[in-house]
């Protein structure tokens, strides 16, 4: 694998750096997906947003539709954090409220998503443009 990458469009370098540096260009904050059985009745999404280090919280049912969180068999929370370390406080708050953790993953953009964000089109679209 490469230590450093340059994103080039029509002979012009748009960005260069390590894969991590390039990914941070399009997603500056840590984004975690936390799956729980249900949001505790005494806790709201707004209460989670008020925790230290939390930037944003969005709740979705496992099928991807918007969810209120109460009574859902599976709830996924997309939680934006200032830094990874803030996740501990979120998990502690959920556990203290009685939520059962079912899954957790960190969401990071791919290098292709970085390319699309910087260039404004996908790699395959670039090939079609240059061929036709």
The verdict on 18 and 35 lying in the same domain is: no
The verdict on 40 and 3 lying in the same domain is: no
The tens-digit pLDDT sequence of the chain (132 residues) is: 679 999 988 899 999 999 888 988 888 788 999 999 988 888 889 999 999 999 999 988 765 444 554 444 789 999 999 999 999 999 999 999 999 999 999 988 888 888 898 888 766 655 555 554
The verdict on 60 and 1 lying in the same domain is: no
Please state the domain count of the chain. Answer: 2
Long-range contacts formed by 21-25: CB under 8 A, 24+ apart: 22/111, 22/114, 23/108, 23/109, 23/111, 23/114, 25/114, 25/117, 25/118
The verdict on 44 and 70 lying in the same domain is: yes
The answer to whether the beta carbons of residues 69 and 59 sit under 8 Å apart is: yes
Single pTM value for the model:
0.66
């Amino acid at each position: 694998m490469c230590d450093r990458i340059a994103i080039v469009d029509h002979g012009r370098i748009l960005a260069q750096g390590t894969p991590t540096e390039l990914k941070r260009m399009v997603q500056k904050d840590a984004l975690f997906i936390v799956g729980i059985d249900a949001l505790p009745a005494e806790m709201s999404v707004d209460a989670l947003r008020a925790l230290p280090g939390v930037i944003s919280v969005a709740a979705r049912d496992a099928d991807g539709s918007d969810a209120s969180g109460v009574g859902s068999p599976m709830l996924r929370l997309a939680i934006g954090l200032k830094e990874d370390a803030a996740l501990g406080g979120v998990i502690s708050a959920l556990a203290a409220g009685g939520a059962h953790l079912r899954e957790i993953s960190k969401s990071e953009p791919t290098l292709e998503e970085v390319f699309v964000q910087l260039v404004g089109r996908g790699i395959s679209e670039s090939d079609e443009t240059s061929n036709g």
